[in-house]
Structure formats: structure tokens, C-alpha cells
Amino acid sequence: MRRPLTLKDHHHEQRIFGVRLVVGVFLVLLLTGILVSRMVWLQIFEHSRYTTLSDNNRVQTQAVSPPRGLITDRDGIILAENRPDFSLEVIIEQTHDLDDLLVEVAKLVELDEGDLERFEKRRRAARRPWEPVPLRGRLTEEEIARLVVNQHRLQGLRISADPVRHYPHDILFSHVIGYVNRINAQDLDAMNLDQQRDYAGTHFYGRTGIERFYEDRLHGGVGYRQVETNARGRILRVLEEQPPVPGQDLRLRLSMRVQQAAYDALGDRRGAVVAIDPRDGSVLAFVSRPGFNPNLFVTGISHKDYSAYRNDHDNPLFNRALQGRYPPGSTIKPMLGLAGLDAGVTNWQRSIRDPGYYQLENDPHRYRDWKRWGHGRVDLHLAVVQSCDTYFYDMGFKLGIDRMHDYMNQFSIGQTTGIDLDNESQGLMPSKQWKKAFRNRPWFHGDTINASIGQGFVLATPLQLATATAITANHGKQVIPTLAGERQEVERTDLILQDESNWEKMTNAMVDVTGPKGTARIMAVDAQYPIAAKSGTAQVFSVGQDETYNEDELAERMLDHALMVSFAPADKPAIAVAVLVENGRHGGSTAGPVAREVMDAWLLDDAGKLNVPTIFADQVSAEQEPAADSSDAASKETP
């Protein structure tokens, strides 16, 4: 097997090997040099870049959303709060088979198309590994229990609790408090950079009502938390924390008690009630019926619920109190009377004979009074008490539409009231200029006649009527209604009459409206305080053309709207109320009792005795100095 060694030149072989070995050593050193230079490149030249990458890996800055401010009524009853909402999330990286998992989950909790669609979209969006993807919110206790029991089979599922807005009195405050819902890309786009940063961790955004108007105050400021996480996204420790600035709590001027009374008194009828404390403009009640359940909107309203609201003929999503434009009818007669007095076109002594209609010279058209055979001889006082149309046709014609327009503007009719809510309707107080500009038609005498009894072009919201009534109760001192203290700017000044006694006299006439011969006598039965009021009935001239009603419904919806404005106690007003009942026919009998309920709720104490509450500012300062009160009481006991 072995060859003779003599054939091999050992020295030659060894020399070859020696050369090759040297080359080998050289190769080793060369490759080592490459490795070292690679290391130097990575660890010295690229060091800072990779340090950043490494820190980005492990350190995450998380935005911490501030707790949203609570909303209470004036007595501290909670109207909007934050509650934990349990939602189901999936950590995709932990799942074995996502499709299987979804099938399993669907057996335990309800998953609709929308849930799966949203999940799919979020799953495909750019995200960090191990970041949970939300699958469904609003888990019920039962669903949570079912999930927990089966959790061992459902790897990758997680139940998380997040604070979510909750409205404990749901439908009662729907139109005034409004609601929050999920913040969206448009909301963020509309913000500047600072705001966007502030909303970095926020999921909800005030959408309507108080929640929207006071969004800035309720939201608060974002906080930050630097956490170290592992590759699975588990937080190992908090490195740094800057707590969020909680949103401010908001104490409304609303009174739960008055709101409830107004809501209940309206019952199932469509309509609106606005009650204002004329002393400081505080809105005490703000009701529009039918309402909706704001809680449904918070985490995303289901298609079914939303279309139910949208398709409802009663239009529950419509804020009648703020945006409903109704002919004010006779409710504006006291204000027109004051305008007529101040402009000198009438006085308290002047009287006319009312044949049951009014006619212009050289015009055969008869403008009819609501009382077919007329009121006989009527002066201003009686014209208000009995709501005589003929008197106001005559006076309004003499006053003229432009002077009428200017005076009514001072009462906020045709002007926004400046309440702290967005999208307030302006209503409409027509003028010659307006008709030319918007209708491109000249002003006719008949237009003035119609406007004199709050018909024709005149449109007002229930909020405007309540504000106008509060201004009347205040003897012309301006009232800007407010729910939480802020007001929007309005161009109105105090209305100063040449003869200030006219306020008193007009109030007396309005008190007689609730007297035995007045149109609103029903509402003052057994009242413990004098009530000044004016009823109104507004003709419904058209029904929306694209709406379909059956005949009974149509007949009902052609009925007059019933209106009532009132304030009390008449000598020292502490509440002004406007009530609108759609198709309620008679202001005195339908709207009047509602107004009375609202006034009682405010003016009477639990025992049913007259006990006029202090204005909001006094109530707050009294609460802030309880010590002073008790020491007063103590000093009384020990004289």
C-alpha cells in the first residue's frame, strides 16, 4: 500500500507547503482585517445611528390621554362621565392561525361585518409588531366571562379597558350636552400642530352640543410616558413620565330638576322648551323632543340604530330648541306693543274698534282676526290680554317693517342669541332690504301686516323666544343665554325706552294674560306667584315636500304649532320660559301648562312653597364659603 518514499522530494514538498502556509496566514490576517474594519465601521462610525435604532427599539414614547372633564348640572349632578369600556384586541404575532381564531371568537361574541371590516383595515395599516389590533368594543359582562373562560384556547386575544364617555341620563340632555365620538382624520387635519400633539393619545372628540363647544376645556393636555418595552411590546419599566393635564370639569347653569320637569311636561309631543334665568342669562332647561340616546354614538353607532334615527319622521336628531325656525305668532305682540309705544305710533289710551278684520285703504283684502266677530273696542292692554290681531295689524302698519325689524333685533329676534352652542340658527326678522336682497321682490304692505302678528316671513327659534322674554322681563337689559358661562359675541345693546314705565305696564298686561279673561288663564291656576305670559299659535303653512305621511298623520301635522312665552314671578322675574309644541293647536291650553311645570320646578322648593333660588354666581360663592355660613349660625346661637 505504501509507495517508496524515495520518489517524493520531501524538501520540495515542504517548501511548497511553507509558501502556501505563509499565504494562508496572510489570508487569515487579511480576512481578520476585513472583520475588524467592518466592526470599526459599525461600532465607531455608525455607532450613533445604531444607538438611536436600538433606543427606538426599546424606548417608546407613549402619549397619555388626559381624562376628559366631567359635566355636571348647577347642583353637581353628573351629566357626563368617563367609564371603562371593555374591548377585544388581537395581538397578531401571538396567534397561530388568525382565521381560525376569528371563527372561534365569532362563536363567543357577536361580530358583525363592520367589526371585521374595521379590523381588517387596521390590521393591514402600518403598525409596530406586537401592537394589539382592536376587534370589537363594548363587550358585555357576559361576553367578557365567555372570553375569559375560553382564553386558553384563544391565544393572541386581549381584553382591554379604556375610559369612554358615558351619559347617565342618556336621552334627557341629548340635544344640549351632545356627545363625543371617535376622533377622525378630518378632525386632526383641521387642527394646528400644537393641537395635534395635544390629541396624540386621545380617541374621542366633542361632536355636538356642550361637548363640542367646550371641547378645549373638557379635553385637557396630553401627557407623555417613556417606557422600555421588549420585542413583544411588553412594558418592562417606565423611564420617564409627564402626567397629562386633566380636562376641566364643567359645571353647567342647567338645573337637572328644571330640565326633567320640562322634559316630562312635554311628554311624547314634539316640541322644545327653553328656560332662562333673566337675572344672569343662565339657561335652566334646554329640551328638544324627541331626543336620542347619546351613548349610542360614543363608540360608533350601529348602522341599524342610525338609520332608525334618520328615518324617523319625528326627526329626533334635530335640535328644535336651537335650530328649529318657527313663526312666533302672537308671542311677539308684547314686544311689538313696546316698540309701537316707544316709536309713538300708539299709547295706552288709544283704542280702535275691531270688526273682526283689518283693511288697508284702497284694498279690498280683509286681514282677519282670530275672533271672527271681533273684540269690539280694544286698547293696547286688552289687545295683549286677548291677543287681538286687528289692533296689531293697525299698529304694525303704522310702525312699518323697518322700525319693527330694528326693535325686534334688540330682543334677539332675527339675531343669534350668543348662547354657548355651535350652529345656532338666526331665525328671521324680515326687512325691506332683506326681501330685496334674498327674495328679489319689493316689500308689500301685506308683508308688514303679517309680520305684526308674528307670521309671514318672521321665524324664531324657541331659544330666541326665551331670550326675548327674558329681555322683556329684564326691562330691556340685555340677556345673553349661557349654559356654562361663556357667551358668543352679539351686536345687541340694552334696550332703553323713552318712557321706562312702559315695561311695567306691559308686564301688567302680560300678567292679565294669565288672568281670568286672558288667553293663558289655564297655566296660572293656583299659582303661588304672579306669571306674565303671552300665548301664541303659529300656522303651519307647509309640510316638507319630500316627506311622506299617511292621511291621519298629515292632518295632525297640518295643525297649528302651540307657543307660550312667560316669566315669573312677574314682579321680580327669576325665570323666563319659551315653550313650543309642534301641532299643539292652542298655546294657552297645550304649551301653557308645560311652562307652568317648568316654573314650579324652579321657583318652588320640595315642600311646594315659593322659594326663589339665588343666581348661579351667588350659589357658587355660598358653596365656597361654608365656614362663614356656619360661623354666622354659631354667632346667632350665642348672642
Site of interaction with other proteins (CB under 8 A): 3, 7-10, 12-14, 16-18, 20-21, 24-25, 28, 31-32, 34-36, 38-40, 42-44, 46-47, 49-51, 53-55, 57-58, 129, 228-232, 236
- In angstroms, give the least distance from the CB of 461 to other proteins: 56
Q: For residue 270, what is its C-alpha cell?
A: 314634539
511: amino acid identity, one letter: V
Confirm if 272 and 538 have CB atoms less than 8 A apart: no
φ, ψ of residue 548 to 5 degrees: the values are -115, 130
Burial class (CB in 10 A: 0-12, 13-18, 19+), 406: middle
SS (H, E, C) 97-166: CHHHHHHHHHHHCCCCHHHHHHHHHHHHCCCCCCCCEEEECCCCHHHHHHHHHCHHHCCCEEEEEEEEEE
Shortest Cβ 104–other proteins spacing (Å): 26
Burial (CB count within 10 angstroms: exposed 0-12, middle 13-18, buried 19+), residue 522: middle
Q: Minimum CB separation from other proteins for residue 138, in Å?
A: 31
Tell me phi and psi for residue 52, to 5 degrees: -60, -45
Q: Which residues contact 627 (CB under 8 A, 6 or more apart)?
A: none
* Least distance (Å) between residue 185 CB and other proteins: 24
Cβ contacts of residue 337 below 8 Å, gap of 6+? 346, 380, 383, 384, 392, 395, 506, 509
Q: Are residues 266 and 291 in contact, defined by beta-carbon separation less than 8 angstroms?
A: no
Q: Contact at 8 Å (CB) between 407 and 472?
A: no
Question: Min. distance of Cβ 59 from other proteins in angstroms?
Answer: 9
In the complex with other proteins, the residue whose CB is nearer, 24 or 84, is 24
Q: How far is CA 544 from CA 89, 272, 547, 557, in A?
A: 46, 19, 6, 10
Catalytic entry in 330, 431, 535, 566: 330
Of 15 and 365, which CB lies nearer to other proteins in the complex structure?
Answer: 15
Nearer to other proteins, 128 or 365 (CB): 128
- Specify the 3-state DSSP secondary structure of 369: coil
Shortest distance (Å) from residue 54 CB to other proteins: 4
d(CA 495, CA 548): 45
Say which residue the cell 390629541 belongs to: 199
- Please calculate the CA angle 513-259-575 and round it to the nearest 5 degrees: 40
Pairing of strands 71-72, 250-251: parallel
CA-closest candidate to residue 398, choices 465, 439, 448:
448
CB of 58 to other proteins, least distance (A): 5
Q: Nearer to other proteins by C-beta: 44 or 193?
A: 44
**Cross-strand pairs, 221:** 245
CB of 301 to other proteins, least distance (A): 35
State the Cα–Cα distance between residues 561 and 320, nearest whole angstrom: 13
DSSP state of 438: I
Q: Please state, in angstroms and rounded to a whole number, the distance separating the CA atoms of residues 271 and 263.
A: 10
Q: How far is the CB of 237 from other proteins (least distance, A)?
A: 11
Say if CB 469 and CB 565 are below 8 A apart: yes
H or E segment at 562? strand 561-568
330 is catalytic: yes
Active-site residue numbers?
330
